[in-house]
Amino acid sequence: MIVGYTQHTMGLPTRSKFVRRHNQDGSHDSICTDCETTVASVENEWQLPPLESAHICDPMNLYRAGQGQAIPSAKSLAVSTNSVPN
């Protein structure tokens, strides 16, 4: 019998499903890897956690992400070497 053990089942999983992108202009984007949507774009990275917490995936975006039609792909962002054409 397990005593004194609290299991939190109401909360979200602790793994982060957000990918952060640091832009050259100093701003920070957070992209949801589930629905592949930019959750927020802020000047200070510390502003992201509450915005990420408040994010709820749009079913339509989830559907598109599942279909592989979403833009941009959060997975490719992490390894992207493409630069913005000048």
CB of 30 to Zn ion, least distance (A): 10
Judge residue 36's burial from the number of C-beta atoms within 10 Å of its C-beta, 0-12 exposed, 13-18 middle, 19 or more buried. buried
Nearer to Zn ion, 35 or 48 (CB): 35
Nearest 5°: phi and psi at 51? -70, -40
Nearer to Zn ion, 47 or 62 (CB): 62
Place of tokens 């833009």: 71
Place of tokens 């390894």: 79
Q: Of 24-83, which residues contact Zn ion (CB under 5 A)?
A: 32, 34-35, 57
Structure tokens at 23: 């832009």
32 close to 15: Cβ distance less than 8 angstroms: no
CB of 24 to Zn ion, least distance (A): 25
Nearer to Zn ion, 66 or 80 (CB): 66
CB of 35 to Zn ion, least distance (A): 3
Q: Provide the binding-site residues for Zn ion, judged by CB under 5 A.
A: 32, 34-35, 57
